[in-house]
Structures are given as structure tokens and as C-alpha cells.
Amino acid sequence: MEVSKRNYVTVFHIYSDNYILINYLQIYKRPRLFLMFTVLYILLPVNFVFIWCISTGYQCVISIV
């Protein structure tokens, strides 16, 4: 029975009022992602930063709203 890889979606809701809400289905041993996104929050004055990470953990799509 073949088991297909799941696509884990990690969504970071970063608000301008210094409140960071992190919703995640799976963070697969990637603590550096949180640090990188924290740096993005400091550098980018945006309300929301959504990051979708595929199960591989190497391909990420960053959409700034």
C-alpha cells in the first residue's frame, strides 16, 4: 500500500500590532523558518505574511498581503 506524501501548510499570521499568531499543521524540524520569518516581520511593514511550505521544507511561497 503506497503512502503519498502530505503537503503540510504552514501559515504565519503576522500582525502590525506586534502580535504574532502562528497557525500550523506541521512544522517538520524547521526552527530556522520561524527565525527567518521573524526577520521578515521586522524588515517588512506588512499586516499579513503568509508562507506556504511544502512537505519537503525547501520550497516556500511567500505571499505578502
| Residue 30 pLDDT | 58
Radius of gyration of the chain (CA): 13
Q: Where are the domains of the chain?
A: 10-64
Higher-pLDDT residue of 10 and 43 is 43
Strands 60-64 and 20-24: unpaired
Write the burial class of residue 8 (CB in 10 Å: 0-12 exposed, 13-18 middle, 19+ buried). Answer: middle
The answer to whether 56 touches 28, Cβ cutoff 8 Å, is no
Residue 45 C-beta-side C-alpha neighbours within 13 Å = 0
Q: What is the pLDDT of residues 21-55, one digit of tens each?
A: 344 434 445 566 666 666 766 665 544 444 444 44
Note if the pTM is more than 0.95: no
DSSP code, position 5: P
| Residue 43 pLDDT | 65
